Every structure is written in C-alpha cells, then in structure tokens.
Amino acid sequence: MLYFLKVIIANRVKNMEQFNSIPPEKFSFSEIIYTKSDWTATITINRPRVYNAYSIVTLQEMITALQDAVWDDGTAVIIITGAGDKAFCTGGDVKEYASEFIKKPRDFWKWMGVFTQFHDLLRNAGKPTIARLNGMVVGGGNEINMSCDLAVAAEHVVIKQVGTSVGSVAAGGATQFLPILVGDRRAREILFLNEPIPAKKALEWGLVNFVVPKDQLDEKVREISGKLINKFPECMRYTRQQLNFWKDFGWNMTIGHARDWLSLHFSSLETHEGMQGFVEKREPDYMKIREKAKAGRVSETMWGANLKECKTCGQKYLPEEFSFCGKCGAVLE
C-alpha cells in the first residue's frame, strides 16, 4: 500500500513539474529573443534584415516561448515586439512563400496549422498581451497586433494590409478582427485599398491604444504593464475570455476554410504574379490577369485550363495555352 502511495505522489509531482517555467537562457532560439523580468515576458521577433517577417521557425519558437510564459506564475503580462526600430513585424516571409509554397501548395496548409496554433495560443494566453509597435506593422504583423489585448505604438509607426496587392487574402486575423476593431467600412477600406495608416490615424480608428514618441515607447509599455500587474489574475483571465467572444467566433468560423482556400490558391496565377512581383521588387501586372478574363481566356491558372492532348505521345491534360507538348516536344494542334 505504501509503495502505491509513493507512486501516486511521484506521478503527481511529475505532472506538476510539467507546468514549471524554464529560464529564458535555457532555450536555444534562433529567430526570436525571449526575456523575463519584473512580472513580464517579452518575445521579440529577431529578423530585422527581413523587417521581422516570420518564417515557420519563427512561429514555432514563438509558440514555445508563449507556452512557457503562459505556464509561468511569475509572468503577469506578455509583450510582443520586433527587433530594431524599423519594423514590428511585416507578416509571413514572402520569399519563403515564393520558394516553397508555390511549388507545393499543400505545404502551405501545413504551415497554416502552425500559424493557427500561434494565434490560438496568443489569444488564449490567459494573461494580458501588449503589442509593442516599434516600427512598420504590415500584413500578418497587424494580425499579431490585433490578436494582442493592447497596443502601444511609436509615433513613426505605419500600419498596412497588403493581401489583395500580393495575390493573397488577409484571412489570418485581418478579415476577422478588423471589422470588430475599426468597423465594417474602415475594414473594407484597409483591406481593399492596402494604403498605409499613420500611427495617429491608427489611434483614432482604434487599431492601437497609445501613441508616444519613439524614445518613450518602453516607458509607456512599462507603465501599462505595471497597471495590468496590479490587478487580480483570475479576474483578468476571465475578463479576457469574455472579451474574446467575437474574435473567437469570427476566427473559429472562418480560419479552417481560409486554411484550405489559401493553400489551393497558391497554385493560381494571381499568387504567382503577386509573389514574384514582390521578390523581383516590381509592381505586379494586375491588368494582365483582368485582360485575360475579359478576352474569355482562363485567368485563374498560369497557362489556361488543362484541356489539350498531344496526338504524338498521348499526353493528356496539357494547358490550353501550350503550343508544344511538355513531354515529347511535338507541336500541339
């Protein structure tokens, strides 16, 4: 009987240890910086050379750091920011998209699983989260901003969505959260026009809570963190849960659909042209796609519908705009 009691106690201790936090220096992160002090945990996207765009590694590391901060009873506030002063975050790494997911669209579905896990954990952290906006906030960077509870921006910050300009749809938080934060009309303006929103306008529209001079950013974040720390943690956690209702509703009703559609859309002409234009640092040829549709041709795929058949080698499902067979090289009728 004593043996079984010892086993039960040992298992309980082991289970309790699963929720122990780990000192930040014990982690071996390559794309984020993770620090903890004075009841706060700070996660910094550390990719300034690409304006703190996140890769799948960045997302995985942020998930690990977030989980540690969530379980740490010595952490009351979680701060998300970017390295340097040029960018908070500019969303997903478009070069990664262009090199990986255009080739294998199904892998974007896998990537979206990690992306969704990060946002679910951020929204359901159980502790107040602050977006420390130290530079440009673009695309998925604004989705991180909106997933946080509060946002403090330096006065030089500009916020911008880019989906319809680069061959994508900002359905990883922007289409869901913008109508809640700024209203339907302004959400459509932001997502349709993709125009930059200066910090002052972002404050007026409700995209951020505070705007301060760049050299006062950390002071303001500390001030807000201090006020949040001096609140009851259980009441804070449940207040967040209640406030999350509409965000959770919009997100959970649409994110699975978005994950599938965006993955399929990676094989489209719009995505190819948008991503390639970004990589080549040129304006995408929007009118080329419109003119194809106007002329009655297929504008959704690179070379038209896969309708042709080679009478020389018998190869089927060749794009209708091909003049030669991709298998044997014969002229197609």
- Tens digits of residue pLDDT in 241-276: 999 999 999 999 999 999 999 999 988 999 989 988
pLDDT in the model for residue 137: 98
CA distance 302 to 289: 10
Query: Quick one: tokens of 35?
Result: 């620090």
pLDDT in the model for residue 20: 83
pLDDT in the model for residue 276: 86
Helix (H, G, I), strand (E, B) or coil at 173: coil
For residues 127 and 77, the answer to whether their CB atoms sit within 8 Å is yes
pLDDT in the model for residue 9: 47
Among 83, 101, 81, smallest CA distance to 93 is for: 101
- Predicted TM-score (pTM) of this structure: 0.91
Among 81, 36, 72, 244, smallest CA distance to 147 is for: 244
Beta bridge partners of 318: 308
Query: Quick one: tokens of 81?
Result: 């920011």
Domains along the sequence of the chain with CATH? 27-265 (3.90.226.10), 303-333 (no CATH)
Low-confidence ranges of the chain (pLDDT < 70): 1-17
